[in-house]
Structure 1
């Protein structure tokens, strides 16, 4: 039987082949590691870009809708904000009505309210029917009204000075659950006081305003005396309500 022996030449050739194989295998592994790292980096960058696009889109949407971004508010800004004024409360209220007053001249003058003149307007379900405000829904409401007078303090036909002319203004309410009308607010003033003589005038204003719990369908209207003495300049007589 023939035997085989390894010669020094064969050993050297085998070593060279093993060295080449090992070198090729390690080079391929390094390339795969680099490729994997690049893929991970690309995925991270893509995720960051998508995150930025998402929040940018949300910010633009909120700015277009008029909503301030929450992150732009600070505690110090909230603490230094001025308190709400009556105008700010009215502007934010959904149900509002503001009426301007006109008084017809004649033997039997009548104070007529309208929301189609001057600063008058109505929104949120309020109605003005037969000179009465109709409450749109049950809840809390701020009710207010003002009338202005310009009284002539000249002597009357009998020669008596009009020293104590009474001026009154009242807001009435009718509610179906109660089944009757009741006064909400009223006030009385006296004109031609302090010894003013003939030919002088007396200016006076009555303002009423308070919060009430009202029911849907309630009716509100005003009652004013001495309408012949009413000052009818624009903005001096008004009647309104807004939901809280």
Structure 2
């Protein structure tokens, strides 16, 4: 009996420490997990508060800028007058954006013809303004002559948004309605005016053509102006200006050009002789 009791006690004594060893790690793991979770939450809260602080500062600056733009508006008096608050806010935002654009982009001088009504810089509409080239020598030509030496880069000349110039032709980059225009300035110069008025006067036919060339074999005449001038031989000089302009439907790849008669009489000054087109 003693032996059995001793064996049971040994068994009970040997199992008690094992129970304590298994209970201690469980308590430790739960405590560590709680500490890690609290740390993560603390870091997330700190990041959230920092982000809110940055956003508060940013929106505060934007509100200050809007308030400054709002103060620049010329609002009606408060004596019973009312105004559209939405329009007022829109105007303030517009002024703010204009100020930002002026700060970001340096002032640039406008080159070329005046921008047509309804033009929007964001629309990227094709346009061109070609000017007379003083180096253009047509003294040896007679009859109808196609003008091939327009200036497309220097001075008042402008090519923009896909419009191209090749050998006297404006090449259309996209389908659409285009306003086409051209002006020719004729100058008659009599180097030896004669005193005898009975002799025949100087008579000229000044004809101004505008052509469109597309898939047809021959160019199509789309505008024409003409005038017969009669200058006395006693006249030292005479001036005449011909202007054309019209709206036409053009397709990508179409070419537009200008031809003249008595081309040797044209003054190729850039402000008096020019040719251009723009999409409307």
Q: How far off its partner does 1:204 sit?
A: 0.5
Q: Secondary structure at the match of 2:141?
A: coil
What is the correspondence of 1:27-42 to structure 2 with a 5 Å cutoff? Answer: none
Query: Is 2:186 the counterpart of 1:149?
Result: yes
For residue 92 of structure 2, what is the aligned residue in structure 1? Answer: 72
For residue 228 of structure 2, what is the aligned residue in structure 1? Answer: 190
Equivalent residues of 2:137, 2:264 under 8 A apart: no
The root-mean-square deviation of aligned C-alpha atoms, in Å, is 3.5
CA distance in 2, matches of 1:185, 1:105: 22
For residue 107 of structure 1, what is the aligned residue in structure 2? Answer: 140
For residue 270 of structure 2, what is the aligned residue in structure 1? Answer: 234
Equivalent residues of 1:142, 1:241 under 8 A apart: yes
Which of 129, 153, 157 is residue 98 of structure 1 equivalent to?
Answer: 129
Query: Is 2:165 the counterpart of 1:165?
Result: no
Q: How far off its partner does 1:124 sit?
A: 0.6
Q: Cα–Cα, structure 1 residues 185 and 122, in superposed 2: closer, same or farther, change >3 Å?
A: same
Q: Secondary structure at the match of 1:114?
A: coil
Query: Is 2:126 the counterpart of 1:87?
Result: no
For residue 40 of structure 2, what is the aligned residue in structure 1? Answer: none
Q: How far off its partner does 1:119 sit?
A: 0.5
Q: Cα–Cα, structure 1 residues 234 and 51, in superposed 2: closer, same or farther, change >3 Å?
A: closer
Q: How far off its partner does 1:49 sit?
A: 4.4
Q: Cα–Cα, structure 1 residues 197 and 180, in superposed 2: closer, same or farther, change >3 Å?
A: closer
Q: Cα–Cα, structure 1 residues 106 and 167, in superposed 2: closer, same or farther, change >3 Å?
A: closer
CA distance in 1, matches of 2:93, 2:63: 18
Equivalent residues of 2:139, 2:263 under 8 A apart: no
- Structure 2 length as normaliser, TM-score? 0.53
Per-residue CA deviations over 1:144-188 (Å, capped at 9, x if unaligned) read 000000124657xx94211x4211111100112x45421111101
- Structure 1 length as normaliser, TM-score? 0.60
For residue 60 of structure 2, what is the aligned residue in structure 1? Answer: 53
CA distance in 1, matches of 2:120, 2:243: 21
Q: Cα–Cα, structure 1 residues 236 and 91, in superposed 2: closer, same or farther, change >3 Å?
A: farther
CA distance in 1, matches of 2:229, 2:166: 33
Q: Which 5+ residue runs of structure 1 have no aligned equivalent?
A: 1-45, 60-68, 75-85
Q: Cα–Cα, structure 1 residues 205 and 73, in superposed 2: closer, same or farther, change >3 Å?
A: farther
Q: How far off its partner does 1:51 sit?
A: 8.5
Q: How far off its partner does 1:96 sit?
A: 1.1
Q: Secondary structure at the match of 1:172?
A: strand
Runs of 4+ in 1 over 6 A off after TM superposition: none
